[in-house]
């Protein structure tokens, strides 16, 4: 009887690993709750006030902040921008990372040098990368513009960060440049776990190189693909750095991502209440995308 009851409650019956172990959780759990979970809950509270960050005599304004955020179009614009940014970075960093990893997994010379080159950008701080790429993208005297001029084109007209339609893609490329090296290293580790004899068997059966990749390699590294895609989506949805450093959200609002909009509303406009309402909605969006992605990746992994 007692045993049945114990099982029902999901209690721990192990002698060696007893419940005293939970004491080990105290430091981490305390920090996690106080500085990570509690602030998220506070957002709900601030979101119905007109708090400005300084004056604590704020009033409750009900759903006004939400109404404002939904009606002035900032939310839909930054959701769209964040989604485009995330899709571009996820697809490109994974495709490039996987391709380079596959090339480096062949019997190629100077493997170490190529790997170092590809991984090198990942060492730099986002702020340094922002400076370097501001130079690369600069009209007329920047790196790409000078190259265009050198081969006889019009370098002065090249201004990706000043163009509504391409600015977002331009900063997404910067993120890809920084991120694909890490992705590549993870893929390389995944590819190295593939048993050579399976590929040999495939070759004997007359598989083409593409069939080997599609039918043997990709299915065998499906869990690596999953982890890389998940990591890339999570960091893509947090997009902030290059909008902040390189474009300041512009031109217009073309590179305003969710997190840039939150930061700007809170620190430049000093509207903490509205920023909180915005955060709550942005968070719901991030959770929704993450859940959809997890479901999709699970299904995909079974298919492969």
Closest CA to 114 of 181, 28, 33: 181
Contact pick of 28, 152, 197, 210 for other proteins (by CB under 8 A): 28
Q: Which stretch binds other proteins (CB under 8 A): 19-27, 60-68, 87-95, 164-172?
A: 19-27
Q: How far apart are CA 303 and CA 223, in angstroms?
A: 12
Q: How far is the CB of 63 from other proteins (least distance, A)?
A: 19
Near other proteins by CB under 8 A: residue from 254, 266, 277, 297:
266
- CB nearer to other proteins: give 6 or 215: 6
Q: Which of residues 161-220 bind other proteins (CB under 8 A)?
A: 177, 182, 185-186, 188-190, 193
User: Of these, 1, 108, 151, 204, which contacts other proteins (CB under 8 A)?
Assistant: 108
- 289: tokens are 């995308």
Nearest approach, Cβ of 114 to other proteins (angstroms)?
6
- What the block records as the tokens of 74 is 């900032």
Query: Which of 272, 274, 277, 297 is in the footprint of other proteins by CB under 8 A?
Result: 272
What residues between 33 and 72 interact with other proteins by CB under 8 A? 34-40, 42-43, 46, 53
Long-range pairs of 264-270 with CB within 8 A, sequence gap ≥ 24: 265/74, 266/53, 270/52, 270/53, 270/54
Residue with tokens 């265009």, as numbered in its chain: 148
Q: Which residue has the tokens 């959770």?
A: 287
* Whole-number Å distance between alpha carbons of 139 and 145: 6
Query: Is residue 106 a contact point for other proteins (CB under 8 A)?
Result: yes
Which own/partner pairs from 37-44 qualify as long-range (CB within 8 Å, at least 24 positions apart)?
40/283, 42/276, 43/276, 43/279, 43/280, 43/283, 44/276, 44/280
Q: How far is the CB of 107 from other proteins (least distance, A)?
A: 4
Q: Is 109 in the site for other proteins (CB under 8 A)?
A: yes
CA 40 from centroid of its chain's CA atoms = 20
Verify binding: residue 4, other proteins, rule CB under 8 A.
no
Shortest distance, position 192 Cβ to other proteins, whole Å = 9
Q: What pairs with residue 49 in β-bridges? A: 60
Binders of other proteins among 118-157, rule CB under 8 A? 118-128, 130-136, 138, 141, 143, 146-147, 150
């Amino acid at each position: 009887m007692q045993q049945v009851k114990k099982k029902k409650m999901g209690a721990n019956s192990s002698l060696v690993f007893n419940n005293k172990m939970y004491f080990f959780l105290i430091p981490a759990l305390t920090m996690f709750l106080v500085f990570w979970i509690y602030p998220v809950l506070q957002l709900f509270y601030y979101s119905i006030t007109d708090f400005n960050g300084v004056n604590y005599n704020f009033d409750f304004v009900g759903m006004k902040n939400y109404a404002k955020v939904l009606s002035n179009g900032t939310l839909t614009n930054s959701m769209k921008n964040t989604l485009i940014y995330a899709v571009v970075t996820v697809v490109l960093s994974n495709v490039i990372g996987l391709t380079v990893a596959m090339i480096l997994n062949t019997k190629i010379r100077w493997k170490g040098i190529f790997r170092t080159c590809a991984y090198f950008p990942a060492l730099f701080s986002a702020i340094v990368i922002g400076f370097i790429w501001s130079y690369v993208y600069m009209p007329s005297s920047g790196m790409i513009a000078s190259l265009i001029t050198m081969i006889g084109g019009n370098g002065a007209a090249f201004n990706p960060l000043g163009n509504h339609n391409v600015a977002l893609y331009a900063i997404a490329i910067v993120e890809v440049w920084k991120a694909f090296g890490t992705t590549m290293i993870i893929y390389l580790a995944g590819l190295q776990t593939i048993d050579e004899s399976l590929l040999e068997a495939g070759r004997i059966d007359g598989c083409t190189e593409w069939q080997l990749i599609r039918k043997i390699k990709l299915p065998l590294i499906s869990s690596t693909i999953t982890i890389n895609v998940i990591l890339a989506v999570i960091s893509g949805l947090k997009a902030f750095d290059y909008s902040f450093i390189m474009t300041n959200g512009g031109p217009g609002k073309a590179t305003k991502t969710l997190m840039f909009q939150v930061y700007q509303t809170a620190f430049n406009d000093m509207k903490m209440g509205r920023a909180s309402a915005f955060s709550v909605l942005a968070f719901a969006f991030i959770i929704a995308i993450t859940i959809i992605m997890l479901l999709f990746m699970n299904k995909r992994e079974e298919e492969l």
